[in-house]
Structure 1
Amino acid sequence: MATQQKKIFVPRPPRQWINAETVVDDGNGRLLDSRIWNISKGGFMAECEEKLPIGAHIVVELPKRGKVRAEIRWAVGWRFGAKILGEV
């Protein structure tokens, strides 16, 4: 008899889809052009002109929120997701 595994659902905050140009400060003296595709209370998805490593800390200006510090949590090519750490 096969055992069934119960799927665990972790609710995520709702995302707002946007298309906004901004600049990412990579913490190494570079300002990189980027585009934000969605944003939630705790994070955002964007793409950047340079590939950013997972775990990197960045500063970015978000629409209607201002400058925030964020940590790259995942990256696929030039697209990445970041967790907002706090206001700058």
Structure 2
Amino acid sequence: MMAATEYKHVDRPARWDCTADITVVDHAGRELFARLGNISDAGFMAEAEETVLVGSIVSVELPDRGEVRAEVRWSNGWRFGCLILAA
């Protein structure tokens, strides 16, 4: 058990700030306007006009990457984070 003052380091890919406008196609086929907040080799964080469902698979056109499918891993209000799935 970790003491209250100990911190566990979580190794994760580097992220780059990004403010590109994107369209997210959600699990129900809705096209939602969104804006990227950051992007990494493994995923991205964005803010959409409506909430998205955690666990759902979305399709999005990312700058310099093209169209990708991603799994929504977390959601907090209109912000959400995705793991990009292998093609």
The Cα offsets for residues 24-56 of structure 1, whole Å up to 9 and x where unpaired, read as: 011322111000110001010001111001101
1:11 equivalenced with 2:11 (yes/no): yes
Partner of 1:73: 73
Q: Identity rate of aligned residues, in percent? A: 48
Q: How has the CA–CA distance of structure 1 residues 4 and 56 changed in structure 2, closer, same or farther, with 3 Å as cutoff? A: closer
**Structure 1: where are the runs of 5+ without partners?**
none
1:52 equivalenced with 2:77 (yes/no): no
Which amino acid letter does the alignment assign opposite residue 38 of structure 1? N
Normalising by structure 2, report the TM-score. 0.88
Partner of 1:28: 28
Q: How many residues align?
A: 85
Normalising by structure 1, report the TM-score. 0.87
d(CA) in 2 for partners of 1:54 and 1:29?
15
Q: How has the CA–CA distance of structure 1 residues 79 and 86 changed in structure 2, closer, same or farther, with 3 Å as cutoff? A: same
Q: How has the CA–CA distance of structure 1 residues 4 and 83 changed in structure 2, closer, same or farther, with 3 Å as cutoff? A: closer
1:41 equivalenced with 2:41 (yes/no): yes
d(CA) in 1 for partners of 2:64 and 2:45?
16
Structure with more strand by fraction: 1
